């Protein structure tokens, strides 16, 4: 096994431990909070979270991936960049604190004032953590990162649930991000200590500027592409509608975050070693795409047919309006799982310029679709359909640009990786479609078990008979051991 493959598998393994344990923790915490807190309260916190994520873009400035990519930064440079993020964090936090008044005025909700001001703490420590966290990824400390993330998820989840049980209401929803950002910084800083200086570190920032500038611009347009729907739904519909939409969106993002976010953080540090060998980078990435497609495409089918059972079992009857939105958004899961890894390849190929161009096209299309869904159709389901359509279009434009300009490779090699997973998805639709009607009068748990069992059996038979993966030999080897 090559060193690269070992590093990739090791990184994925430890990141998977953290992420998949995180799925259980997130679902348990979300399920408890959803039963203790009203949907409109989730909408209020969603607005504050979306706005603070915008300020996070300005606190990051594309510094983190630039540190990972640049192999020539010395210790003095890293200390200077850390000092720069410290002073930047103070400035950005003060600005966000002052903006809490116009934010509350715009949405006509006084509680947003307090929520936004409290989340300033999150913003400051998230900024401070940029350099120590980037160093952990650059030096491939995946085992440490995994255990760090898992511990913080448990502590933050317990704190949030405890606060909700004590009757703190929506304030329970912001305890987790605040505590998590503080713990994340101190743990990362203890592992990778840096020296704070009075200097702004401009000379060191200039060394990574050509990479980070396009990354920063991409982050800005990607922000609006990903968050404008929530901002506008909260303003022009209502907080309850936003609560239903946000819950559907977050649940849809869970498999995305816990599959590709296991791989993407590992890909950039490792694949950046191939920035001068595009052929090797392309072949390695296509193997990743092949496996992600076999996970993502069938998963979209399963989530579509199990939307009702998943929503009602996890969150309860009060979240019934979220079912249709989640069902529609789930159609984009397969595409998004693959698409979300594309940024790592643009970064690894040292081509953040094309990453920016790709993001600009995507953002323009997404924003247009969101505006059509909200102002023309005025329904959450319409917004979900519009977003699903734009993700599909963006998938093709992103990879056409990547293969023709960045990797300089025929796109047929990409399409070849998608054919078999697409066929499997069609087979699963044909199997689950009649089951959807046959189980409509069954209990939620029984219905979910039947659909999931048929899905697993069909999936297993297909990948075994097509030779995608030899499960029988794998089981035999485990038994022999």
CB atoms within 10 A of CB 75: 9
Residues 291 and 205 in one domain: no
The pLDDT, as a whole number, for residue 4 is: 53
Q: Note the pLDDT of residue 238.
A: 77
Query: Looking at 126-173, which runs of residues are DSSP E strands?
Result: none
**Structure confidence at residue 319 as a pLDDT band (50, 70, 90):** confident
Q: Which of residues 236, 255, 279 is at a domain's end?
A: 236
Tens of pLDDT, residues 109-154: 788 888 888 888 888 998 898 889 888 888 877 778 777 877 887 8
Tell me: pLDDT of 351 over 80: yes
Residues 364, 296: one domain?
Answer: yes
DSSP 266-329: HHHHHHGGGTT-HHHHHHHHHHHHHHHHHHHHHHHHHHHHTHHHHHHHHH-GGGTTHHHHHHHH
Residue 1 has pLDDT above 50, yes or no: no
pLDDT tens digits, 80-107:
888 888 998 899 889 889 988 998 888 8
The predicted model gives 247-274 an average pLDDT of 74
Same domain assignment for residues 244 and 229: no
Q: What is the mean pLDDT of residues 20-36?
A: 67
Q: Which of 208, 236, 264 is the last residue of a domain?
A: 236
Q: Cβ(259)–Cβ(292) under 8 Å?
A: yes
* Residues 173 and 247 both lie in one domain: no
Give the chain's domain count. 2
Q: Which of 236, 267, 294 is the last residue of a domain?
A: 236
**What distance in Å separates the CA atoms of residue 8 and residue 252, rounded to the nearest whole number?**
26
Looking at the structure, do residues 243 and 232 belong to the same domain, yes or no? no
Looking at the structure, do residues 135 and 76 belong to the same domain, yes or no? yes
**Please, what is the angle between helix 239-271 and helix 3-36, to 10°?**
170
Q: How high is the mean pLDDT of the chain?
A: 83
Q: Are residue 180 and residue 249 in the same domain, yes or no?
A: no
Is the same domain home to 250 and 399?
Answer: yes
Higher per-residue pLDDT: 440 or 150 = 440
Distance between CA atoms of 156 and 183, rounded to whole angstroms? 9
User: Are 208 and 257 in the same domain?
Assistant: no
| CA nearest to 281, candidates 350, 348, 353, 355 | 348
364 and 441 both lie in a single domain = yes
Give the tens place of pLDDT for each residue, 441-481.
899 999 999 999 999 999 999 988 887 777 667 666 656 65
Structural domain harbouring 174 = 1-236
pLDDT value, residue 477: 63
| Cα atoms in the Cβ-side hemisphere of radius 13 Å centred on 164 | 23
The residue behind tokens 């570190």 is 201
Please say whether the dihedral angle defined by the alpha carbons of residues 106, 110, 111 and 116, taken in this order, is positive or negative. Answer: positive
User: Which of 241-250, 397-406, 433-442 is the least confident region?
Assistant: 241-250
Same domain, 191 and 164: yes
CB burial of 172-196 (b: ≥16 within 10 Å; e: otherwise) equals: bbbbbbbbbbbbbbebbbebbebee
Alpha-carbon torsion 54, 58, 60, 62, what sign? positive
Instruction: Give dist(CA 304, CA 324) in Å, integer.
Output: 9
Selection from 21, 31, 241, 62 nearest residue 152 by Cα: 21
Q: Is the pLDDT at 18 greater than 70, yes or no?
A: no
322-333 pLDDT per residue, tens: 999 999 999 999
Give the chain's end-to-end CA distance (angstroms, integer).
21
CA 114, CA 121: separation in Å to the nearest integer? 12
Do 345 and 393 share a structural domain? yes
Distance CA 123, CA 51 (A): 11
Per-residue pLDDT at 2: 52
């Amino acid at each position: 096994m090559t060193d690269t493959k070992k590093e990739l598998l090791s990184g994925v393994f430890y990141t998977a431990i953290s992420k998949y344990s995180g799925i259980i923790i997130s679902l348990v915490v979300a399920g408890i909070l959803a039963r203790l807190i009203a949907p409109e309260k989730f909408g209020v916190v969603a607005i504050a979270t979306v706005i603070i994520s915008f300020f996070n873009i300005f606190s990051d400035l594309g510094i983190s991936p630039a540190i990972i990519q640049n192999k020539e930064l010395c210790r003095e440079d890293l200390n200077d960049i850390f000092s720069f993020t410290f002073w930047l964090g103070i400035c950005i936090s003060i600005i966000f604190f002052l903006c809490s008044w116009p934010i509350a005025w715009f949405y006509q909700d006084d509680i947003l004032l307090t929520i936004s001001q409290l989340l300033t703490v999150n913003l400051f420590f998230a900024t401070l953590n940029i350099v120590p966290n980037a160093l952990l990824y650059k030096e491939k400390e995946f085992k440490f990162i995994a255990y760090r993330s898992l511990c913080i998820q448990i502590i933050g989840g317990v704190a949030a649930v405890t606060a909700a049980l004590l009757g703190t209401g929506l304030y329970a929803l912001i305890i987790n991000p605040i505590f998590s950002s503080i713990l994340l910084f101190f743990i990362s800083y203890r592992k990778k200590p840096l020296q704070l200086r009075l200097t702004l570190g401009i000379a060191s920032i200039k060394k990574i500027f050509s990479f980070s500038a396009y990354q920063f611009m991409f982050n800005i347009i990607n922000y609006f592409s990903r968050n404008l729907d929530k901002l506008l739904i909260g303003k022009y519909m209502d907080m309850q509608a936003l609560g239903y939409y946000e819950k559907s969106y977050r649940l849809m993002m869970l498999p995305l975050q816990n599959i590709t976010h296991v791989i993407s953080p590992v890909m950039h540090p490792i694949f950046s070693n191939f920035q001068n060998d595009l052929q090797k980078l392309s072949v390695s990435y296509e193997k990743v795409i092949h496996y992600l497609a076999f996970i993502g495409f069938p998963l979209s089918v399963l989530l579509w047919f199990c939307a009702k059972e998943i929503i009602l079992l996890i969150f309860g009857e009060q979240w019934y309006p979220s079912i249709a939105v989640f069902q529609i958004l789930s159609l984009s899961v397969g595409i998004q799982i693959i698409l979300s890894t594309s940024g790592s390849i643009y970064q690894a190929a040292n081509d953040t310029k094309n990453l920016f161009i790709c993001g600009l096209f995507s953002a323009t299309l997404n924003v247009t679709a969101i505006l059509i869904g909200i102002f023309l159709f005025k329904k959450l389901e319409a917004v979900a359909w519009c977003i699903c359509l734009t993700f599909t279009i963006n998938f093709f434009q992103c990879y056409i640009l990547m293969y023709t300009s960045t990797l300089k490779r025929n796109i047929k090699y990409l399409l070849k990786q998608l054919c078999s997973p697409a066929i499997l998805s069609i087979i699963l639709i044909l199997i689950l479609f009649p089951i959807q009607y046959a189980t409509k009068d069954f209990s939620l748990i029984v219905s979910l078990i039947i659909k999931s069992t048929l899905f697993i059996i069909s999936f297993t038979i297909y990948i075994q008979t097509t030779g995608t993966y030899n499960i029988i030999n794998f089981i035999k080897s485990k038994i022999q051991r």
